[in-house]
């Protein structure tokens, strides 16, 4: 049986807006695809070997949690960077997504240094970017949609060599202006989409599992799953997001 090890980074601190549901989705779909899975909760100060990790999950957190996480992980930044370059999978949401870059400038002007794993930076905006979001995701051809909920004051900007996870159809995305959402580098995926993201987007869950298996030289042999409930949830979310967008536009008119 194929198998992978998932590190769940700081589950007591990085757990906003249903991000634990992402772990549940990963575990359930791994089970349904006959993939053995070991989940290792990693807490501040724990000794860990990223060389043994196949998929690192990092949920969302407040600014204070980000600073704590950054300080703890910077001690391991060279090991993390090597694992990323070798192909380890990282799935990072919101505050953890911001942490992957060079720095985050808070609303008070404080500069929080990031892990410098991928080429992006974030600065606080003057208003929060909140609401349901739908993006056209570039991981597949033809493209698929991803749906989720975003709630962030940070505005993230991607540098050269980094591509977005997708283009915004409904919502704000990385910064509310350039219509990009998230970032992809090798097997690293960062996104602002909470809600939680993976249960409503099973194709992304399977994509992460497939990449984690490939990292260890294993094949992903998908089971013939009935995803009708997940697809209903996905489509209902798109319908809801679209109706709210139409309502806002009508109000402005």
Domains of the chain: 3-252 (3.40.50.880)
Lowest mean pLDDT among 52-66, 155-169, 196-210: 52-66
Lowest mean pLDDT among 7-21, 78-92, 103-117, 153-167: 7-21
pTM of the model: 0.93
**DSSP H helical ranges for 87-196:** 95-99
Cα–Cα distance between 151 and 160 in angstroms, integer? 26
Q: Quick check: 60 pLDDT over 90?
A: no
- The residue from 8, 13, 53, 94 that is catalytic is 94
The predicted structure's pLDDT at residue 88? 97
Q: Quick check: 76 pLDDT over 90?
A: no
The predicted structure's pLDDT at residue 63? 65
194 given a catalytic annotation: yes
53 given a catalytic annotation: no
Contact 162, 118 (CB under 8 A): yes
Contact 187, 140 (CB under 8 A): no
Confidence of residue 85 (pLDDT cuts 50, 70, 90): very high
**Region 208-220: what's the mean pLDDT?**
97
- The residue from 8, 33, 172, 194 that is catalytic is 194
Closest to 126 in 3D by CA, of 103, 152, 102, 146: 152
Confidence of residue 245 (pLDDT cuts 50, 70, 90): low
Greatest Cα-to-Cα distance within the chain, rounded to the nearest angstrom: 58
């Amino acid at each position: 049986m194929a198998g992978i090890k998932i590190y769940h980074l700081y589950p007591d601190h990085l757990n906003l807006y249903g991000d634990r549901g992402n772990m549940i989705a990963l575990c359930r779909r791994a089970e349904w695809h006959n993939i053995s899975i070991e989940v290792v909760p990693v807490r501040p100060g724990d000794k860990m070997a990223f060389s043994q990790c196949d998929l690192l999950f990092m949920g969302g957190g407040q600014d204070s949690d980000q600073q704590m996480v950054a300080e703890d992980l910077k001690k391991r930044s060279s090991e993390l960077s090597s694992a990323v370059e070798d192909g380890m999978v990282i799935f990072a949401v919101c505050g953890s997504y911001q942490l992957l870059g060079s720095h985050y400038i808070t609303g008070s002007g404080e500069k929080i240094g990031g892990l410098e794993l991928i080429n992006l930076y974030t600065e606080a905006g003057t208003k929060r970017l909140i609401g349901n979001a739908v993006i056209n995701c570039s991981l597949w051809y033809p493209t698929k949609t991803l749906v989720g909920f975003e709630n962030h004051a940070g505005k993230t900007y991607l540098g050269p060599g980094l591509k977005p996870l997708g283009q915004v159809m409904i919502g704000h995305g990385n910064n509310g202006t350039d219509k990009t959402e998230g970032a992809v580098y090798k097997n690293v995926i960062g996104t602002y989409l909470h809600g939680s993201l993976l249960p409503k987007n099973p194709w992304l869950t399977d994509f992460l599992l497939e990449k984690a298996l490939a990292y260890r030289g294993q094949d992903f042999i998908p089971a013939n799953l009935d995803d009708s409930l997940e697809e209903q949830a996905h489509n209902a979310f798109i319908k809801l997001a679209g109706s709210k967008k139409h309502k806002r536009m009508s109000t402005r008119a």
